[in-house]
Structure 1
Amino acid sequence: MHISGQLVISTLMAGMLAATGTAIADDHGDTASASFISTDGSEVGEATIREGNAGIVVDLEIQGLEPGWKAIHIHGNGTCSDNNSGFKASGGHLNPDDRKHGLLNDDGPDAGDFANFHVNSDGTAKVQLLNERASLEGNTGAKILNDHGAALVIHENPDDHKAQPIGGAGARVACGVIQKS
């Protein structure tokens, strides 16, 4: 394919991605936030969650983590109180439809799955994540602000998006309880 054909395809794909992002990010006014702590209890970042008309948008800013690719998931219990034992109290993924874990799984993904993100060599990351299977108040998808609450949990490794139950993502290294703003 010649250069102009590649440019047209790239332009079309960028337009489709922008249109999808706009549809998801169309602000419905509902927002939430999460303050992340590490296993030693230190603050390591913030997330802002916005309700869109087709899911949620998470704006994530992290510092103080080991560099490399990381998995992040929505977990089904709104607690991060057990940081010294690895945030196990946050439970498993938000998954009211009992789907299999993984964006590449034929029987998935569950409502807590996100794409991986990268932590830079200085321990920081700034990323925007989209999830069309979850919502803050239940407008579409799995409801985050329910009786159990929910938490965003960052794992030490990337998610392979297939292996059960967490895609080989490893230990939980940071956690933030999602609270309505």
Structure 2
Amino acid sequence: MRTLTAGVACLLALIPLSLASAATDEHVSARATANLIDNEGQEIGQVVIRQGPNGTLFNLELEGLPPGPKAIHIHSVGTCDDHDHGFQDSGGHLNPEGRTHGLMNPDGPDAGDFTNFYVHDNGYAWAELFNERASLDGSFGAQMLDDDGAALVIHENPDDHVTQPIGGAGARIACGVIVSD
């Protein structure tokens, strides 16, 4: 009887978790992923992207990057094929409104701007970033999944959120094409 009671108690404890998950999922209107590669073309992790009613959430989990703070931006073209040439084919930031770069710039930010994230000494990074200026399907802000797609690009340094054109973030060291789930 004690085992049955404990089992029922465990099941009842899981109900709020499953309801919270269902409640979260009901507000997600679009999903996508980006598998990131480094300059050698090696996969270093994934970003899961979920669009909600007030913005888009980006969950990063990466391994194999140099330690320290890093900038990440949404770039306007969905390609990372030129990994050996610094991911230049991904173009500039997603910025259909022609805004100035920088979260702290009075004339910014552009749709591709994010806060920085941190890579630990062992090369591991986990971060959750939010952007209310870009959507997967174009229902608000700039559209990531348009005809030429979009990519997430990581830079070697942090973004100072003011300096043009990329906040002094330096070379592009990783890239991932955003693909609808």
> What is the TM-score when the length of structure 1 is the normalising length?
0.85
Q: Gaps spanning 5+ residues in structure 1: where?
A: 1-23
1:100–1:108 contact (8 Å) kept in structure 2? yes
CA distance in 2, matches of 1:128, 1:25: 17
Amino acid at match of 2:77: N
Amino acid at match of 1:75: H
How far the C-alpha of 1:139 sits from its partner, in A, is 1.3
Name the residue aligned to 2:47: 47
> Whose radius of gyration is greater, 1 or 2?
2
CA distance in 2, matches of 1:26, 1:115: 27
Q: Gaps spanning 5+ residues in structure 2: where?
A: 1-23
Structure 1 residue 126 corresponds to structure 2 residue 126: yes
SS of equivalent to 2:34: strand
2:29–2:53 contact (8 Å) kept in structure 1? no
Residues 63-121 of structure 1 show CA distances to partners (whole Å, capped at 9, x for unaligned) of: 00000000000000000000000000000000000000000000000000000000001
2:96–2:142 contact (8 Å) kept in structure 1? yes
Name the residue aligned to 1:164: 164
CA distance in 2, matches of 1:25, 1:117: 25
SS of equivalent to 1:178: strand
Amino acid at match of 2:119: V
> What is the TM-score when the length of structure 2 is the normalising length?
0.85
Query: How many pairs does the alignment contain?
Result: 158
Moved over 4 A (4+): none
CA distance in 1, matches of 2:37, 2:57: 21
Amino acid at match of 2:92: G
User: What root-mean-square deviation, in Å, do the aligned CA atoms of Structure 1 and Structure 2 show?
Assistant: 1.3
CA distance in 1, matches of 2:25, 2:160: 26
Name the residue aligned to 2:21: none
2:36–2:43 contact (8 Å) kept in structure 1? yes
- For residues 99-118 of structure 1, the aligned pairs below 5 Å read 99-118=99-118
